[in-house]
Amino acid sequence: MRQGGKQKPLKKPKKKGQNLDEQDVAFKEKKKEEEKLVKQMAAKAAGKGPMYKIVFLGDQGVGKTSLITRFMYDTFDSHYAATIGIDFLSKTMYLDDKTIRLQLWDTAGQERFRSLIPSYIRDSNVAIVVYDITNKDSFNDVQKWFDYIRAERGTDVLIVLVGNKSDLEDKVITSEEGEEQAKKLGCNFFIETSSKNGYNVKKLFKKIAKLLPELQNEDADQALGGGNQNVQTIDVSTDKSPQEEGIANQ
């Protein structure tokens, strides 16, 4: 109470749920972005975040190594040497405020290394089966790679079917055949890619990353394979071209 005057009314506080003015909203958004950045940096420094093992399977020469290289380094080399045994790389992704660490296991497609394959599939979270859309034999062998996966992991694994080398014109396996095979085998989704020009490579890994956190939920069975109802396909015929995605052809 002021001497000789009336009491100064107190400013009425904003009620909970009351709309904030634009300045308040901008401040909160900026604060949220800063906190997100700090969490990402801290997780990167500490190596935190769930770790998922992704194993690449398929015949020799279908482009498993080139897919990994395009994703890791955004480069392409037309003269890759055949993978000897197993190669291993790791990458950290930041998606939807989450840090996801990926282990990418590149397996050899030659017959003499087949005895090594089961042991590397055994503790995998994701199996990517790759075939060459210009090579009928590599497509016919998809069933064989799928049998390896089911024998070692059952249905406790995400399975993706990838038709690689979509940049080539001498295509012998249609997109419809690839989708039908994915449904038949109970894969989680099918997609066509090109390691050479980068077409759909980022989309492949982003889609996998979005499915991975579901493995931590009680509803994990719904995210895993084991039935045609779980198959998701990407319509490659209506997808953006590499030019539209800002990827220059090589």
Q: Per mean pLDDT, which of 25-39, 80-94, 128-142, 213-227 is the most reliable?
A: 128-142
- The whole-number pLDDT of residue 9 equals 53
Average pLDDT, the chain: 76
CA distance 172 to 212: 32
Asked if residue 231 has pLDDT above 50, the reply is: no
Pick from 71, 40, 39, 74: which is nearest to 54 by CA? 71
- The pLDDT value recorded for residue 49 is 67
Q: What is the mean pLDDT of residues 53-66?
A: 93
**pLDDT tens per residue, range 151-178:** 999 999 999 999 999 999 999 999 999 9
Taking the C-alpha atoms of residue 92 and residue 130, their distance in angstroms, rounded to an integer, is 22
Q: What is the pLDDT of residue 67?
A: 95
- Quote the pLDDT of residue 203: 95
Name the pairing type of β-strands 232-233 and 189-192.
Answer: parallel
Q: Check whether 195 has a pLDDT greater than 90.
A: yes
Closest CA relative to residue 128, chosen from 152, 98, 166, 163: 163
Higher-confidence residue: 101 or 126? 126
The better pLDDT of the pair 232, 23 is held by: 23
Q: What is the pTM of this model?
A: 0.68
Strand partners, 190: 161, 233
Distance CA 157, CA 124 (A): 7
Q: How far is CA 193 from CA 57, 60, 98, 146, 232, in A?
A: 15, 17, 26, 19, 16
